[in-house]
Amino acid sequence: MKILVLVSTLLICFKTFASAKPNFVFLLGDDINRDHIGCYGSVDVPTPHIDKLAADGVKFNKAYTSVAMCAPFRQELYSGRTAWRTKAFLNHTNSIPSTQSLPQYLKPLGYRVALAGKTHIGPSTSYPFEYLGGNPNSQLFDKTKEFIESCRKQDKPFCVFVASHDAHSPYTTGDRSLFDSRKLTIPPYWIDTPELRQALVPYYAEVNHFDAFAGQIRAFLDDSGLAKNTIFFVCTEQGSAFPFAKWTCFDNGLHTGLVAYGPGIVPKGHVSEELFWLCDLAPTMIEAAGGKIKKGFFDGRSQYANLTGKPTKVHDFVIGQFSNKGIIDNRERIYPVRCIRDGRYSLVWSPNYKEITSNVTLTRALALLKSETPRATRTGRADPISSWVQTTKGKPLDNPLVKKLHHRPEYALYDLVKDPYELNNLTDVKAHKETFNRLRGKLHEWLKEHDDADPIATEKVITTNKSNSGKKSRKPKN
């Protein structure tokens, strides 16, 4: 009888412990500029649901990814390791087989771990999620809800990533009637042209559509009673396919929007000003789940203290990179970029600065700069970036923004507090010499430690080990 009582007590303790483990729901956007979310400063795109999540939870103001491309971003997110460890430098690239990820980290702690929607990761042995599939958002919601209900029946904690296609081109969802291209506010890091304004409307419609999806998931968590023991993250991914964002190391490329909501776990209305590296997410979840973190196993570090409202410095700086090779019609162009941010300043290094840079979004503009005939667009109209070249008076490269797109200096130092749009390079300003030397030294020291002292050599030898896991996406995987 005593043995039965003991076993019963142990079972009750285990069940209580299991139920105390927080659940995780992580909603991921696709190519959304952080500053196109209301709580991060947008004045044109209504995002009331994400704004409310930020007001009722934690908003991370300084969250950064190390690569502004879809596949490397997602592999960093799930593995807790940057591209220097996974070797997924290029887009459509698999991690090395020894890579592990959140399914391997959380399953031993009792979790079921699933991924709904866009994948764009590989190999499957490194990312052994329960793959739920699904697209569009309505299917993603249904499949996510079914997964959560299944976990509840099993009395198992869960972690589910919901990867929406909003707002990756081509833009096919959302209500475009909400936006009048003539009334949009064009920030100073863009040249105001009709083509840019017209292109922003369908993109903004998808950002708004993504926001509505965030609201739908929150309503389900609140109404089902799950919210009190679930941490709900919403992340914008890397920046958009518009200028100075995706495929760059500029702030709009690597700076991601990240909010977390979880009444009873996450404090209401907290704003974290500490540097958050995307690879911090995995160790943060592990600590929240009660797991142990071996020093040096991750590139990231747990941000659980900042998540729960206890401001704690975790990083002195974060590192970013871009590798142009393998991107659509510029597959062999070698133009690596590396950068470092310390919370206020950003230093961007372009070691192949003597060459002209390009990527798929710049192809037509590059042809125009060379006085060549660019390929036709689907609409027959100029794309936003080539419209910059066509509408600039005089020599196009005399315009600082056109020149910035195609001709990068070897180093560019920006004060993100006084110059958030990165318009003024402070490299040659005497008052910033100490800052420049400090960040340059730290950047080169870090790259040397990670076998990337010569990024041009790095990019020449890396190859595109293609992942087949994103084939079901309805959109091109740029």
Residue of 172, 235, 212, 197 lying closest to 47 (CA atoms): 212
pLDDT tens sequence for the chain (478 residues): 433 333 333 233 333 333 479 999 999 999 999 999 999 999 999 999 999 999 999 999 999 999 999 999 999 999 999 999 999 998 888 999 999 999 999 999 999 999 999 999 999 999 999 999 999 999 999 999 999 999 999 999 999 999 999 999 999 999 999 999 999 999 999 999 999 999 999 999 999 999 999 999 999 999 999 999 999 999 999 999 999 999 999 999 999 999 999 998 999 999 999 999 999 999 999 999 999 999 999 999 999 999 999 999 999 999 999 988 877 666 678 899 999 999 999 999 999 998 877 666 777 787 777 777 766 666 656 788 888 888 877 788 888 998 888 889 999 999 999 999 999 999 999 999 999 999 999 999 999 999 999 999 999 888 766 654 443 333 333 3
For the chain, the domains span: 21-315, 322-461
The pTM of this model reads 0.92
Q: N- to C-terminal Cα distance for the chain? A: 65
Fold of 21-315: Alkaline Phosphatase, subunit A (3.40.720)
Residue 56, classified by CB atoms within 10 Å of its CB into exposed (0-12), middle (13-18) or buried (19+), is middle
Angle at 360 between CA 117 and CA 340, to 5 degrees: 80
d(CA 110, CA 81) in angstroms, rounded, equals: 23
Residue of 204, 249, 281 lying closest to 32 (CA atoms): 204
